[in-house]
Each structure stands twice: as structure tokens, then as C-alpha cells.
Structure 1
Amino acid sequence: AIIPCPNSDTIVLCDCVSVVLGQDGWSVTYTTQSICTLKGSTVDLFCSYTYPSGTVKTTLWFTEWGTGVEPEDLGQDPEYAGRLEYHGDKKKDCTLKITDLRERDSATYKFRLLTDQEGGKYSGSPGVTLSVTGLQVKVTGGHQDKTLTCSTTCTLTDNPTYIWYKNGQHRDESTSPQYKYSVSNDYDASYSCAVKGHEDLHSPAVCVQGQSCSRVTYTKRRICVLKGSTVDISCTYVGYYSTTSSFWFRSDTLTPEDLTTDPGYADRVKYPDKETRRNEGPFTLIITDLREEDSAKYRFTFKTNNFEWGHSFPGTTLSVTGLQVKVTPAAEGQKTLTCSTTCTLTDNPTYIWYKNGQRLDEPTSQQYSSNILVVLGHSADSYSCAVEHHEDLHSPAVCKYELNYYST
């Protein structure tokens, strides 16, 4: 059975027929061989393995393997930076989680392990074929009766329930990807679709009758930024008639409330694009001095004399995080420092490391642009981290006592 996690973007696959290939005590078991899931979602590649003897020294996932060389560990691929979580171990579990999926992540993923024994290398085939797709509304039919199809480039794995939105308002749910539409007077209406449990990964809105209709398109659906920084959340909108009002609101409020009138955002919110009685264009929300309690989903709405954009249409999810240095053992006498956040920062930032308050500035070493730094475990120095262009928002320092504490 395939069980979608409710209210989650994670696909969980379990109790499936496993594929086990192996010889002489080697085997890799993939819970499923093929997965089709949504762009922007998260997927777990469940996997287990056995080996005949020795100690596992290295585990890795890969998608390509050139002749005569070891395959590239996806954990070292910048394309997957901040998006891979290896949930396995060096005993029998090899589960891999990939977050914020992109269409170019579509590939066949295979697991490989290396032990300390001579010839102790093994890769599990055939692997897991992952297909990543977006949603798109396709319109077919005649002038009076049309069929709207929530289209994907592959058949979604979890037999989803489809959700339909008309003018940004929740309209219908069905296990069928098709929606029957009869022509009426709503010639200015737009339609979009989503999958239940993944509502923030909706399709673009389309006009069913002609090229002109009311619609809202969000520039980004998820943003993760630093506490204390400033964020721009933007969308573009088209109103069939001139608007009488337009504003951003938090989706967790009972009724839509303009953020510029919310006391919790006093002097921290502005709309640089605001113009009254305009019927299309960009509309940006700027929030300054961000706080962790600002983490929420933000939506845009506009009104005309006889129309209001629906409040159930998904918006942009903002996550606000601080920085924290976490310490874990590495090789003997060393510790790995990780500049940790509660979400994956947007736009793949460059990390900056400080030793005793002084910036480690060695551009020839890639480790100083990464969120990971390896140091001597018994160093008397202190370390902290920051993100480039936000140097004033650095983490608390980790001192020698904390490094020594983790040395056992």
C-alpha cells in the first residue's frame, strides 16, 4: 500500500514488493522501483542492505557511474546541496530523503556501500527510478462543454485526490484528474488544480474562455530566510476589472486582514507596488526585521466592484530561522561543525566561518563557503558562522568547552 502523509509534502511508500539483488551475502532491497511525485515535494527512497563480513566504511547514493571510476556521491553534488538527508546507517538501513524536488532530479537512484574487506564494494541494481512532475491544467472540448484535466508528465504514485480552484476559491475534489466545465456567465473565471496534501504545489491558473481572466501567480511558493533579515514576497495578478483594494494577509487568520493594519507587523510591512484601482501587475510584500513568529503562509487578495479573489488559493510559505553551530564527531581528534538552520535557506547562500571572532577567509578552500567545517576536537578556539550579505546575523559561538564536551 502507498500511504500519503496527511498535510505533508512527503511521499511515504511502505509494504510494497521489494526487489532484492545480491550474491555471496551482498544485497540491496529497494521498497519500490518507481516513484512519480510532485515538483517541490519531498520523497523518501526506502532501502535496506546486507553484506557478508567486515565493517561498512562508506555508504552513498548515486545516479551516474562513469567507466573506471567510483560513482559520484550525491551528497557532494552542489545540485543537491541542502536537499539530501541520509536517514540510513552503516549497518542495514540505507533510506534517503530528498527535499524540494526539481524536475531535473528525475533519474534512477542507486545505493552503494564499501567495507574494509578486500573487494568489499557493492552497488544495488536496478535502483529506484524517480520521476518529478509539475501540475498543468489542460482545456479540451467544444464551445459549450469543456473538460479540464489536471495533467502530469507521469502517473502520480499515490493515487491522489485532486482539488480544483475557481478564481482562487476551493471548488471541488475528486479522485479523477478531470473536471467537467459548462460555459456560463463566468467568462472572466480562472481555474487551477492541486493534489490533496500538497495544496501549496498547485498548477498555474488558466483562463477557460479566452485569454483574459482573473488570476494570481506567486513568484515563489516557499521561502526560508534568516531571523532579523528582510524578505520580499511577490506575486503578479490580473483582475478582469479595475481593483478597489488589494493586500497581503496571513492564511492563519480567521478573516483576511491587511498586514499593514496588523499591530504585530507595525512599521515592518510595506507594499512598494501599491497603486489603487489598477487591474494587473506585480504586487510585492516586504517584511523587515523578521521574527520566528512571522513564519506562516502569506496570501494575496484583491477586490473589484463585483469580484473578490478567493481566500483558499495557496500562497507563499515563509519560514524564518536563526543560525546555530552544531558539533558532531568526525575523524579521530576532529569535530565537524555544521552551520545549522531549521529550514533550507533560499537561494543557496555562501556561508562564512569565524574563528575567535575573525573571519576565515581562504577562497581557495571550498569548506569556507559551505555550512560544514572540520576542526580539531580539542581546540581552544571558538567558532561561529554567518551567511554572506548577512554578516551581522551570525550564530552564537561554540567555545572550546563545547568542542571538548563532544570529544567523547
Structure 2
Amino acid sequence: MFQLLLFSQLMILTALGNEWSKNYNQENLCALKGSTVIMNLTYTHPTDYTVKDRFWIINPAPGKEWNNLHNEPGYSGRVQYLEHGQNHFSLRLSDVKETDEHMYCVRVLGEKKRTKDKYLFYPGVTLTVTELRVETPENVVEGNKTVLVCNTTCSLSETPAFIWYKNDRLIDTKNSNNTLTLQPTKAGDAGRYNCAVRGYDLLRSPARTLNVRYHPKNVSVSISPSGEIVEGSSVTLTCSSDANPPVQTYKWFKGTTSVGTEKTYTISKISSEDSGEYKCKCSNEVGHHYSNSVTLNVLLSDSTVIVYVAVGLGLFGLAALLSALFWLRSRRQKKVADEGDYQHSSLQNAGPSAQNDTYATLDPASWGGDDVYHTLAISHPSPAADTPTSHDYENTAEFELTQI
């Protein structure tokens, strides 16, 4: 029925020699949610027709009241009619919503030869409302090229200039198209991104989070407890790093030998054999990285030190004693040799009388009290300054007894 009505109106317009005509500037209009759109109509009518009223309506259909858009629910305060001469009629619709997706047509009321007549300029303008949305790749890896796209569900009526935001701060970009290129992508590029159309800065797209993955970095090893490491104590090495996704596997090395596979490596009773250089390797889905080496120096415990000191002192004392005994033996041998040489020289230089006295002196049967003293005095002259005395020998014997 509705199609027949429209067809009959078109036939009437044709019969009147194209005196009725219409031209909407766009039959399909894509508008950004929250923006303002303008729909334009240019038309003609017969000279004997007088226009009394004109207005915009939505979704004309048979059996439906064709209400002025001003009176439609939800449009109050957002509709403005613009008239540019007798045959130009425009609609300005602000704060466009998704519920505004309809066909918009112009309805004309007038008279022809004093007879009321109504006309509908159909079909009209089909409005589609879209939102901006940021599209990002699923897997973003540090060092690669990343392209973010600001998209819509339909092509905007005019090619707009786009602007970009990261974490609610405007990004200063040289281009104004709907793409944002990060090359090379850095870990610091991670964050929340919005796009908007210049002139509608507040109409930003929903935020899209960019997650940048990277291999472990800043890998380090900490030692607990810190400070000197004493043999027998417990020591724990902890491997730390910055990675996205988090570290999945750890591996510990002493030199080039693998010694552990956890985040921490504990030596419960450390010994000198555990001294050396240690490092850890962190790995995730992106890659791996090694820490710098740390050195463990294990100190001997106090009891062990005392044993080593005692043994050292004992060996030193023994060496000193042996040296002293060797020196004394050498001195004794030298003194005996010196006395033998002296007595031999005295016998050679003495006369027959002296030799007889000497033999008499050596004969115990001829000794007397005074002769003994006299003989000792003659046979043992005062020793040289560096020659040990009988007292020295006594002291030496005591020293030997004490040391042994």
C-alpha cells in the first residue's frame, strides 16, 4: 500500500512535467557517535502550489503518523531546521546517538488551487551511526613494527583528521590519518590508546591497551645474608629480572656447570668448595638473558682457624728448637776443637820441666788441695769474650731440658 502511494506520487510528479523534484545531498550518511550532522534537501514544486508547512520525519510507513521530528521522543533540543531560500531545507541533528539510525525525509504541506495537498520527498537520507575503535595486533614484541588503526563501522561522510592519545595524553604525531605507527616498538610503548577526530576531541574511542612483550632484562643476583660468608652457614642466591610475560624458567650456573633450576638457589652448609662465580639465566616465551656473575668467597670458621694456627705455631716452634740444638752442637764442637789446639800448642812450647809438671799434674796420686786449684788455674785460662763459660753450659742444659 505504502509503495503504491509513493508510486502514485511519483507518477503525479512526472505528469506535471517534472515540476516536482527533490535532491538530497547524501542518500547514505555515516556519522560519528556524539557528533553533529546536517542533512540537506533541494526541491521544486508547481507554481500553482503554495507551501504552508514543511518538516522532517523519520521512517515513513503506511498507517503511521508522520510526526514532525521536533515532536519525536528523544529528539528534543537536538533538532534544528535551517532554511536557505524557498527551495532549500536542511536538518541539523546534534549529539548523534545510535538510536538515531533511521531514514529521514521531508514532508511538505500546502495548497493547490485552494485545495489542501501533502507531499513526501521519498526516499530520504539513511543515517548510520558509528563509533571510533582502536585496533591493535594481538602479539606485540619489542623491536618489531606495530601499527594501530582507528576504525569505524562505516565510512565517514568526510575524511576527517585523526588525533591519538596515550594514557589520556595527546600524542604529538606528524600525520593525521587513522593509523599510528610504532617503529621500533619499545617496552615503554605499552599503555592505553584512544583515537578521536579533530574538532571532536572529546569524542574519543574506547581505550585499547597495548601489551608489549619482551625478553627478560635487568637480570641480577642478590646474596642473602649479605657480608662475609663463613663456612658451615646457609647462603641463598636470588635471581630477579624484568620480563613480559613473566619468567617461565630459571637456570643457575657455577662457572659453566648447571647447579639449579629455581628462582632461588640455596646452599645450606656452605664450604670452601662452594667458592666461585655464580650466575642465573632467565627465560620466557620471547627469549632469555643472563645475569652478571657474582663471586662467593667462603671464609674458614673460627675453630678451623685455631687448629691451623696451632699447627702452624707448632711447626714453627719445632723448627726453632732444631735450629737451636744444631747451633749448640756446632758451638760445642768448635770449643772442643779450640781447647785441643790450645793444649797441643802449650805442650810444644813448654820445656822439659814444664812437661814433667804437666804429667805430674795429670797424675791423680800426686794431687794436693793447693795443687788442684793451681792446676785448674793454669790449665784453664780465661776464655775469650765470645767463648761460652761453664755457667753458660749449665744454662744451655737447662734450656735444652725446658724446650724438650
Q: Would you say same fold, with TM above 0.5?
A: no
**Normalising by the residue count of structure 2, what TM-score does the alignment of the two structures yield?**
0.44
- Between Structure 1 and Structure 2, the one with more strand by share is 1
**Normalising by the residue count of structure 1, what TM-score does the alignment of the two structures yield?**
0.44
Larger-Rg structure: 2
Identify the structure with bigger relative contact order (alpha carbons < 8 Å, sequence gap 6+).
1
